[in-house]
Every structure is written in C-alpha cells, then in structure tokens.
Structure 1
C-alpha cells in the first residue's frame, strides 16, 4: 500500500529554530512524532508538541520504530541538507520518496565553501565518518581543494598525521567547527603543524577544508591507469605496469560497475579498477593467504578499502559467489590459471549479458585455451612484448619480459 506524503524531512542548522522557515516550524509543531539526534531535538525543544524519538545507536532500529507511525504526521530532523551525506538517502531505502517531503537547510559543505570562498563545483567532498581516512588518498592531488567530513574531534589531527606521513605536510587544513551557529569557529594551519599537536581542543562537530600541497616525494596517485609497480607490495606475482594499463583499457571500466578479479596476486588490477571511479566495486579471488593479506594492505594504502577479498580456489569460489546470489559482474579478469580446465568458461558464464571478459596468459597451454575461446566466442586477441633496460656488466641492454597473450570478448545479450 502506498501512502501519501506523511513524512517531512527537515534540515536544520546550528542556528536552530531561527534558521527554519515558517512552514518548517509549523510542520514540527503539528507533528505527532519528531525523530532526530539528541542535538537536533534540543534545537527545536520549544516547538515540539507530539512524541519524540531520539535515534538509538542502531539507525536501522530507529527507522523501524519510526515506520510504525507510517501514514501519520511525522518529522525527521537532519543536519543541513538531508540528501548531502545525510539521512535522506537512507530513508529512501526503506520507503518510496513519494511518501516524503524534504525541506533542506544550507549544508555544512555549502557553508564551508562560502566561508573559504571556494567554488563548490571545483571542490571534492569526502567523508571519514565510519570510513578509514585512506579513502582520501586518490583525491590528494596537488592544488586540489577538498572538504572532508570529520567523525569526531580527533579527526583533524589524525588526518593531518596521515597526510604528513605521505608527503602532504605543507597542505593547509582549515578546521571549521559548528558552522552556522553561535559557536562557529574557523582555524587553519599546515598539516604538519596540526599533526604535531599545535591545535587547541576541537569541537566534535567539525569538518575540514584542505588545500593540497605536495612535497617533491609525496605519494601522489597518478590519474592514469598503470600505477608504478612499486606502489604495490608484492612477491613478484603482479600484473606489471604496462600490461596492467592495457588490461584496464580492455576491461573498459564504467561508473558503478563490478569487477571480479580471478587470481588477485597483488590486487593491482582490482584496485586500479576501483580507482577509475569512486562508485566502482570489485571482488578479488586469491588462493594464497599471505597474498590476500597483502592485497588488503595495498587496497587500504591506495584508497580502495572497500575492495572485497575472497580467499579460495578460483573455480570453487566462482561457484560459491553464484550460490550466494552475488550480483553478476560487469567485467571479469582472469590473471592466472587460464589453462585450468573450466576456469575461463566459469568466468564467461558468470558475466552478465553485455559484460566483458579479459584473460591474460604467458604459457603455451594458456595461450592455446585463449585461441580456442577466440574461435568459439570471437572478440580480440593480441600479444604484448615488453622490453626493459637492465645492466649487462658495465653496460646496459634491453631485456625482454615474458610475452603476454591477451584475450578480450564481450558476452552477447542474446
């Protein structure tokens, strides 16, 4: 049963009732239930006439309790813009948007840009609320402006220490506290100074504006595919830089797509797939426990902590992923074990219609499998030969790496 709009999601700033429109104030006053965080409820204490629900530690539990009032007059209070890193999107997972109306207030992001004179369209916004700070890594580009939403009072110093360790100590960090309210405060200093503890006590309600400045040896992640091999911890089992760039090109990642990476090695292909867009997802399958742990460390260090790592044999894991009703991948990369019977077929069958398969082989047996699949499924087949300069005695010469045969095909829709 679909209900007419009964839920009103109202954004509120630190200026409280004074910043609310007359319509918003009237909706709060007439609500049978007002839900929100403790701080939000205190800001409208004098307006509320009905029941109140302070969100419990489990947000899903709180939403479940709120939904028991479905069809009645309910208000949910949120900070600033409910659909900007707020509760609005979460609520839409539990109910149709047609059942709610939203009255946003200026978000803390908008206020921060206004205070610093930054163009919102040129400013990247990230959050370390409930996320590791490493998610900021891909955005640390020289000259960039970032807004980072903090988890608590310790976030600015913790982030400053991490940035300094990666060579971004000269960056300027603006700490903006309690924006829009009577206790608003704005301080700024270099990241390396903040890391040394040269800031006073910080309000837990804060966010950071970061002017990125990189030292000459800073760990800046290139925007191109094909990161340097030494950016990954590995034991030699890694798709080398040049081959990886060609592999990513063949995989052709698009926004929001899922990759299954079979034979993770160092996780380099899956990590770079996720770096192509923040919405991209990947699962990497790796049999070796030490390599799986190394992949996790690489993913964290390079800003893709959401990479899912599954330990186990390739064929068994492919079957288990199917049995678990995991969404079918948009692309599959087979980086090892191509000659194992049934592996390439299993990868092909896992793909959604229109999905892409890319498989690399260095052995004659693996190449034979790819030749057969090319004859069966069509697609593209190529060989890549890379030579690198290495010392030969007192001189230098090009030394060829192993030739890689690459097969790429798109699964048809019919």
Structure 2
C-alpha cells in the first residue's frame, strides 16, 4: 500500500490516471484517492474521479508550493497523466520536495500505450515532448527508417510536426495520430506528413500522441563532424574535420554542460548537444547577428535548447553555471579569458582551444606552460582539380591545446603574457 501524505514531514502521493479514469485505476490507487483530504490535479483529471473531499485544480501559472503547505497537515493526493515520472509532475514534485517525501503510483504512460497499439518495442523508440518545449527538437531524431513518438502539446501539434517533416525533406513519412489513448473515445488517424501538412485546418483532440515512421530523407548523424553546409554562417565556422577532432578532445558525456566561448555559428555547442539529449551548452558571442544565427542553426539541427549569451568575454562569463568542458574559439588574445575559464572549470573538466594565426598559437604555448595539457597540429587538405588531374589544396593548419583540470595548482608560476591585441572581443569560432 503506498504511503499517504499524513506525517509531519509533509509527504505527497502522486497517482497516475489514464483516459479510462476511475475504472482504470488499481485498487491501491483508488484507496489513495478515496482517503485523501485534498486531491490536486488538472480539471480534466479531477472530472474523472468521484466527488468527495476537497478538489483543487492546479493554479495558473503552474506552481507546487501550495501542495507542500497542504501536505504538512492533511492527506494530499496529486493526480497526473499516466506515469507521473515520465515528462510528468511527479518529477517536478520530487525535485522540489525530495524523493523521500513523494510516493508515486504510476499508470501506463502514453508512450507504453502507443507502442502497444503500434507493435513497437518501447526500448527502441525515441520520445520527443512538445509539451512546454520547442517542437524543433524533433529534427534531431529524423533519419530514414526511424520510428519516433511525439507527445503533443495540443490538437495542432501533429499538423505543425507534419510541416516540419516536409520542410526537412521527410514529407513521405507515415504518421499515426492516436487520440485519447486507453479511453472510451480512443481513435486513430493515419496518413503522410505531406498530406497532413497540406491540410492546415485539420485539428485533433488535445490529448494525442503522434507516431512517426520516417521515410527517405536527408537525416544527419549524431556523430560530430556534420557537413559545413548544414550551417548558416558568415565564415566564422570551425570546419568539419577540425570540428570532429575538437569534439573528440572535449569528450561530451551525458548530462554535461559546455561553455562555447566565441560561439560564432554555434557549431561546437550544437554538435555537443546532439551527442546526447541530456547534454547542454551555453554559447558566448560578442556579436548579436552571429548569436541569432547560432540560435537559428540550433533550431534547424534539433537542439533548440542551446543558450546563446551576447557579450564580451571575460565579463560575459560571470555568473554562468559551472561547466564540465569549455571550448575557446575566440578571444584567446583578450586579457583574462583563459584565466576566467580555467577558474570556472570544475575539477576533471576539459578545456580545448584552437589557434590558426601565429599570435594565438603563441598564446597556446604560454597556456600549456602554465596549465599543462597537450598541443596538437592539425592539417587538412582537400582534393581539387588540376587540369585533367587531381591535386591537393591544404587548408590553414590549426594548433589545438587540450587540457584536463586536475584540481591541483597550475604547473607554471606566472600568468601567460598576453599579446598586444588585448582589446579584441570574442567574435567566433
């Protein structure tokens, strides 16, 4: 029997409920609801249970504070859709109140129900939520033959997703809209992205899940080193091969945060975030036009959560969350940039910086003398026609400094001397 919120610590029980309402609840879940002094939930959830006791709809804007206040003196039950720990309020309550004060009684999630209807193994299907999140995140999952589930924000979401699919070259993808899953009015619509995108007036029930079977299309790998033409840029772009080596040196791991100092077109932060959905990045960029371009590139490539802050380093770095890795793509010659980055980096974090011109290469040599790490010279040549034959056209060599912060003091004893151009702003990759 699940714990009910009656002790002085103020615990709360969260009950998952499906579109089948009271009849679909287990005996244990019904007992929690029946014994509660207060039941909190969305209006549609409260309408699914018998009358009795106090019923409180969630406030607008959404807040959880009053739940904790009530739980200190009364038995409180919170109703939530399906599995409350899957993109649900259960996770929010645990974060705010602590796991020891929250008991969850789950029902099948909309993902489980959708996969059961479609015959898709749940563990093989990526899930994207458009509930309170940008729809653009769907783009990261699009590749030929992929199966994807989209949790819709409302009845317009399937149509907007169909437009996105068509714009990304996946118009032939098969779509299935599952409305009111598990309820007495459950229904299914099937068609193609092209067909749905051509019918903007079509609206579905607000409670729906969109299943996508991607047709042929120009999907992009999650492995770093996307084609250069995947990005809009003004020349401030870390080129494909260098970008791949740079990401390898940064070593993104699930849940980690990157600082991209001198974000330019945003490619380093974008490809860091594409490695894993839990990776995050903050780009720092001196120019507003480049910052806006980086945000647009992030949305196009399926990581709209990239945060880009406009300002000049090192001052713009103040107050930013502690990073797990830092890429310095611009501003190496600006006083205090490397020092500020090194001070902010957590122990065990990685810092990588690239240099093309001799002046910034000299800065990397001084940084290596102070902080340690490794220097690598990278040279790329591309084939080019030479009459009837083929030759090689070398790109400018890149010197890369990569170091891991051990937590000990720097290996050198003095600060690296900056070059005379100390007024240059952070301007790109």
| Correspondence list, 1:152-163, <5 A | 152-163=154-165
Distance 1:267 1:100 in 2: 40
- Matching residue within 50, 58, 75 for 2:53: 50
Distance 1:127 1:327 in 2: 25
The Cα RMSD (Å) is 1.7
Q: Out of 15-24 and 162-171, give the one that drifted further.
A: 15-24
- Matching residue within 68, 72, 75 for 1:73: 75
Aligned-residue offset at 1:412: 1.1
Distance 1:367 1:383 in 2: 10
Are the counterparts in 2 of residues 32 and 49 from structure 1 also a CA contact under 8 Å? no
Distance 2:229 2:187 in 1: 42
Q: State the match for 2:260 in structure 1.
A: 261
- The answer to whether structure 1 residue 225 and structure 2 residue 230 are counterparts is no
Distance 1:243 1:291 in 2: 20
Are the counterparts in 2 of residues 170 and 213 from structure 1 also a CA contact under 8 Å? yes
Q: 1:332 to 1:222 in 2, by over 3 A?
A: same
Q: State the match for 1:328 in structure 2.
A: 322
Are the counterparts in 1 of residues 159 and 203 from structure 2 also a CA contact under 8 Å? no
Matched residue SS, 1:189: strand
Matched residue SS, 2:314: helix
Q: State the match for 2:420 in structure 1.
A: none
Aligned-residue offset at 1:201: 4.2
| Correspondence list, 1:254-403, <5 A | 254-318=253-317, 321=318, 324=319, 326-391=320-385, 396-403=390-397
Distance 1:349 1:391 in 2: 48
Q: How far does the alpha carbon of each residue in 1:284-306 deviate from its partner, in whole angstroms, 9 at most, with x for none?
A: 11111211111111111111111
Aligned-residue offset at 1:395: 5.8
Q: How far does the alpha carbon of each residue in 1:140-190 deviate from its partner, in whole angstroms, 9 at most, with x for none?
A: 122111111001111111100110111111111110000111100012111
Distance 1:100 1:367 in 2: 54
Matched residue SS, 1:59: coil
Distance 1:58 1:26 in 2: 30
- Matching residue within 189, 192, 207 for 1:190: 192
Aligned-residue offset at 1:208: 0.7
Distance 2:392 2:352 in 1: 28
Q: State the match for 1:37 in structure 2.
A: 42
Aligned-residue offset at 1:391: 4.4
Give the gaps of 5 or more residues in structure 2: 1-6, 409-429
Normalised to the residue count of structure 1, the TM-score between the two structures is 0.93
Q: State the match for 1:248 in structure 2.
A: 247
| Correspondence list, 1:136-151, <5 A | 136-151=138-153
Distance 2:292 2:244 in 1: 24
Distance 2:152 2:359 in 1: 53
Matched residue SS, 1:69: helix
Q: How far does the alpha carbon of each residue in 1:265-288 deviate from its partner, in whole angstroms, 9 at most, with x for none?
A: 111001111111111111111111
Aligned residues: 401
Q: State the match for 1:210 in structure 2.
A: 212
Are the counterparts in 2 of residues 266 and 298 from structure 1 also a CA contact under 8 Å? yes
Q: State the match for 1:17 in structure 2.
A: 22
Q: 1:225 to 1:183 in 2, by over 3 A?
A: same
Are the counterparts in 1 of residues 179 and 205 from structure 2 also a CA contact under 8 Å? yes
Q: How far does the alpha carbon of each residue in 1:388-410 deviate from its partner, in whole angstroms, 9 at most, with x for none?
A: 22345676532211110000001
Aligned-residue offset at 1:43: 0.4
Q: 1:411 to 1:201 in 2, by over 3 A?
A: closer
Normalised to the residue count of structure 2, the TM-score between the two structures is 0.90
Matched residue SS, 1:254: coil
Distance 2:15 2:75 in 1: 13
Are the counterparts in 1 of residues 263 and 284 from structure 2 also a CA contact under 8 Å? yes
Structure 1 outlier segments of 4+, above 6 Å: none
Matched residue SS, 1:409: strand
Aligned-residue offset at 1:198: 8.6
Aligned-residue offset at 1:209: 1.0
Matched residue SS, 2:255: coil
Aligned-residue offset at 1:119: 0.2
Q: 1:180 to 1:338 in 2, by over 3 A?
A: same
